[in-house]
Amino acid sequence: MLKKLSTCYIGAQGFWEDPEAKRDIPMMFRWAMPGCFRDYRDLPWTGNGDRDHAVASILAEAMSVAGTEQRISVSLRKEWYVRRSGIVGRGYTYQHVRGALESLHAAGWIHVLKGVAMEGGSGIQTTFWPTQKLVDLIGVEVALVYGLRDPIVMRGSDGQMMPVPDTRELERRRRHIERLNEAMRGIVVSLDAPDVAWTQNAPMMIDGRVYDPRRDQAHAVYNMTTRAGGRLYGLPYQTLSNRQKGRRAQLRIDGAPVEEPDFSGCHPRLLYHLSGLDFDGDLYAVAHPTFGRTEAKLATQILINASGERSGLLAFCYRLATQAAGAQFETTQIRMTQAEVDAIAKGHMAGAKALFEALKAKHAPIGKSLFTGAGIRLQWEESMIMTAAAMACLDKGVATLPMHDSSITKAGSDASLMRGAMHDAYLQRAGKAPLIGGH
């Protein structure tokens, strides 16, 4: 049986403090190994097709994090698996997953850290990762195959995967994503950085985050309906630290330098344009005694995404507090306590209220859309625009690397083509001309 863990592990230093660097990856049967590994008789094959698929998928998921500090998280609650095998794939049932985990753990192929349940449904989820025995058998640079069963993912109100509705719109989007993925597999993406030992076939730690070049397929994530979310995820360069390190500018496509055309102020500008309104000037320029444009931009994003003003104020204050905590740790290697973070957040509250009031006055023409969670709907509008632009480029033989409201292309004529495609797609959808930046 799987070994249980004491709740004291919750505070183990180095595990929870940096979610970007050490975020557990949920098991979704997205990796597969070459079929030849079915010939390894030491592995616990059973002859049951579904169980053996679970065994093979767990081995592949474990090997996907070999050489990194990440782990694969997995649920051991029966109710989690109800009606999910049709979404994730064969063998994704409580019986088969638990049985495969126990047999692989008992035989020494994977490490398993049993989760701990806590009140309110929180706690630590069970995680697993490969043992050295498995790494020695398979090899870190084994040609794992990456990709979800379906490039369309639908999440419910609880954030968990739900069945994808059968609609013409989603089928069209599915074809677009598959076409984009095929095009991306035909180009070579690399990073030209003097402080990074680049490899094309294995995961690397870059700025404390895992970059896995084997992840070459995007998937779209919708939230509850086909008109919410829809952004593309799953591509490795999306995790690069860009604000401080400027890593995306160091990317190369087939060895060539890149540009990244983007929509300036995409979501607030979309709110104006979809309402038939124009906006001239700086979206984030407001007078405030302590906060500048950077904080005003963050606050504007929260005004659009938060479902209420109180929750938005708290989100803003704690974002500033956690940024301060991160900066302190980077400089001194000393971590703030939760009480210190709380105190910083509380100290920002008065200034945050004044900033929110200034922004609400500035954006009064779209005031009815603020604090309504409009961001998730705007993500869908944005994703439709960016998909149309990417398809227009593919029609002319240019493959692009999608972000969210931007796209990475070869510098020069390819970037110019992308800017034009983004302009036309936005204009057609929003009825107004966008402001496109990027370099």
Q: Which residue has the tokens 């598959």?
A: 178
Pairing of strands 25-26, 72-74: parallel
Long-range contacts of 150-153 (CB under 8 A, 24+ apart): 150/87, 150/174, 150/219, 151/177, 151/178, 151/181, 151/217, 151/218, 151/219, 151/220, 152/177, 152/219, 152/220, 152/222, 153/219, 153/220, 153/221, 153/222
Question: Is the pLDDT at 4 greater than 60, yes or no?
Answer: no
Residues 174-189: pLDDT tens digits?
999 999 999 999 999 9
Query: What is the pLDDT, as a whole number, of residue 33?
Result: 81
pLDDT at 15 over 50: no
Q: How far apart are alpha carbons 374 and 303 in whole angstroms?
A: 9
Q: What is the pLDDT of residue 353?
A: 97
Residue 18: pLDDT above 70? Answer: no
Q: What angle separates helix 309-332 from helix 293-305, to the nearest 10 degrees?
A: 140
Predicted local confidence at residue 302, as pLDDT: 96
What is the pLDDT, as a whole number, of residue 439?
Answer: 61
What ranges make up the beta strands (E) of 279-384? Answer: none
pLDDT at residue 12, rounded to an integer: 28
Side chain identity at residue 4, one-letter code? K
Joined tokens for residue 295: 């904080």
pLDDT of residue 120: 46
| CA proximity to 241, closest of 210, 263, 217 | 210
Query: Mutual orientation of helices 293-305 and 374-395 as an angle, nearest 10°?
Result: 100
Average pLDDT over every residue of 206-234: 91
Question: What is the Cα–Cα distance from 98 to 81, expressed in whole angstroms?
Answer: 11
Specify the residue for token string 């034009």.
Answer: 420
Residue from 328, 274, 268 nearest 296 by CA: 268
Position 414 scores a pLDDT of 97
At 199, is the pLDDT very low, low, confident or very high (cuts 50, 70, 90)?
Answer: confident
For 139-153, 325-339, 372-386, which range has the lowest pLDDT when averaged over its residues?
139-153
Average pLDDT score over residue span 409-414: 97
- pLDDT tens-place string over residues 335-386: 999 999 999 999 999 999 999 999 999 999 999 999 999 999 999 999 999 9
CB 378 within 8 Å of CB 304: yes
The share of the chain scoring above pLDDT 70, in percent, equals: 92
- Give the least confident one: 135-144, 163-172, 285-294, 329-338: 135-144
* CA-wise closest residue to 134 among 68, 67, 69, 59: 59
Confidence of residue 88 (pLDDT cuts 50, 70, 90): confident
Residue listed under structure tokens 């609400």: 360
**Reported confidence tier of residue 125, pLDDT bands at 50, 70, 90:** confident
User: Distance between CA atoms of 19 and 322, rounded to whole angstroms?
Assistant: 12
Cβ-contact 213, 185 below 8 angstroms: no
pLDDT in tens, 25-82: 889 899 988 777 777 888 899 999 999 999 999 999 999 998 888 899 998 888 888 8
Calculate what percentage of the chain has a pLDDT beyond 90.
Answer: 67
Quick one: average pLDDT of 262-288?
A: 94
Q: Which two tokens stand for residue 116?
A: 């701990």
Residue range 305-324: average pLDDT?
Answer: 94
β strands within 51-125, DSSP E = 72-74, 110-113, 116-117, 123-124
Confidence category of residue 116, pLDDT binned at 50, 70, 90: low
User: For residue 26, what are the β-bridge partners?
Assistant: 73
Percent helix / strand / coil, the chain, rounded to 5: 45, 15, 40
- Catalogue the E-assigned strands of 133-228: 145-146, 152-155, 161-162, 189-191, 204-206, 209-211, 219-223
Q: Mean pLDDT over all residues of the chain?
A: 88
436 by DSSP, 3-state: which? Answer: strand
The pTM assigned to this predicted structure is 0.84
User: Could you tell me where the DSSP H helices lie in 187-308?
Assistant: 266-274, 293-305
